[in-house]
Amino acid sequence: MCHCAGHAVGHNVPMVDVRYELGCPESARSAAADLYDEAFSQKLSPAIRNETSRRAILSTGLDLSRCIAAFEGGRLIGIAGFHDAGGSLTGGITFGSIRREIGLVRAIRAIAVFALLERNPEPGELLMDGVVVHSDCRGRGIGTGLFAALEDYSRSIGHNQIRLDVVDTNPGARRLYEKLGFVAGKVERTPFLRPIMGFGESTTMVKELR
């Protein structure tokens, strides 16, 4: 579900008490699911309308090794999911796991909606799979910290660029990405998605890692 990348992250004041880790521990699995759903419920709800069901599916399906997690003390306050050759943050969400939670007919609809959002990384590229900062921690530099940690990780495994897609209903995220060095490229217009997903256009943005 890489089309979900980029949701309301702040970058004003650097944090000094936040730590960034590759991967999220199992003890924070439920918190990660709640945080992801809080940010992306608008995009996920056309596929899975019930909040309890969505969070249950996320809780069991998130691959917590495929993210950078931000913690303040013991509290999870941010996630930057990614997708590369090793998998993706949302890669464990399968038709079977959805069907077990909401039944066959609704699962077929859900998978069809998710297919509209699916993106795959190119070789040597890290593809974003959702970025979110807790609602009471935005504007404090955590989003920028997540991206910095993500860039460090990308370079460490030899990737030469990071790619994401930002939708037309999230201009704040696009402004942040531009400040972080991402350059806008291809624009995909999908007006048929607006009644379903709430957006009708997405822009691919890429940051080259020097």
CB contact at 8 A, 201 and 168: yes
Residue 153 near residue 181 (C-beta atoms within 8 A): no
Domain chopping of the chain, boundaries: 2-160
pLDDT number for residue 7: 42
Extract the runs of DSSP E, i.e. beta strands, from 45-86.
67-72, 75-84
**CB environment 122-149: b (16+ within 10 A), e (fewer):** eeebbbbbbbbbbeebbebbbbbbbbeb
pLDDT of residue 6: 42
Q: Is 136 helix (H, G, I), strand (E, B) or coil?
A: helix
Per-residue pLDDT of the chain (210 residues; tens, 9 = 90+): 544 334 444 444 444 589 999 999 999 999 999 999 988 887 788 889 999 999 999 999 999 999 999 999 999 999 999 998 889 999 899 999 999 999 999 999 888 888 877 888 989 999 999 899 998 998 889 999 999 999 999 999 999 999 999 988 888 889 989 999 999 999 988 787 777 677 778 899 999 997
Residue ranges of the alpha helices (H) in the chain?
29-44, 51-61, 95-102, 104-117, 142-156, 171-179, 194-197
Check residue 86 and give its pLDDT: 86
CATH topology of domain 2-160: Aminopeptidase (3.40.630)
pLDDT value of residue 200: 79
pLDDT at 89: 94
